[in-house]
């Protein structure tokens, strides 16, 4: 069983930026599951979507970050789960 969701790679997204964005999406998902009104969640979701995720420096002396492909898929799945939670009410 594979336990790593986001692979590490040189030149990937900055890990702090990614974790901050994922934490914000999870907080919004919890709010939606607890029944908070979507009029409060949707503006916050738009702010989270606009939050930049910087790329690490690539190349020989590059820095390790999270895979951009994995991160984009994971955040899209979280957003879809959030939208489903909002529409299930």
CA 19/CA 77 separation, integer angstroms: 15
At 34-80, the pLDDT tens digits run 999 999 999 999 999 999 999 998 888 889 999 999 999 999 999 99
Predicted confidence (pLDDT) at residue 3 exceeds the cutoff of 70: no
Tokens read off for 76:
């899209």
- pTM: predicted TM-score of the whole model, two decimal places: 0.89
> What is the model's pLDDT at position 4?
64
Backbone angles phi, psi at 52, to 5 degrees: -75, 150
> What is the model's pLDDT at position 86?
93
Helix 15-33 to helix 38-50 angle, to the nearest 10 degrees?
170
Q: What is the DSSP letter of 65?
A: E
* H/E run at residue 10: strand 8-10
């Amino acid at each position: 069983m594979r336990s790593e969701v986001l692979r590490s790679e040189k030149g990937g997204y900055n890990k702090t930026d990614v974790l901050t964005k994922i934490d914000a999406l999870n907080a919004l998902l919890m709010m939606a599951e607890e029944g908070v009104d979507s009029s409060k969640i949707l503006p916050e979701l738009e702010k989270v979507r606009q939050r930049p995720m910087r790329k690490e420096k690539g190349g020989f002396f590059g820095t390790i970050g999270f895979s951009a492909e994995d991160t984009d898929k994971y955040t899209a799945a979280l957003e879809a789960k959030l939208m489903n939670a909002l529409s299930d009410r």
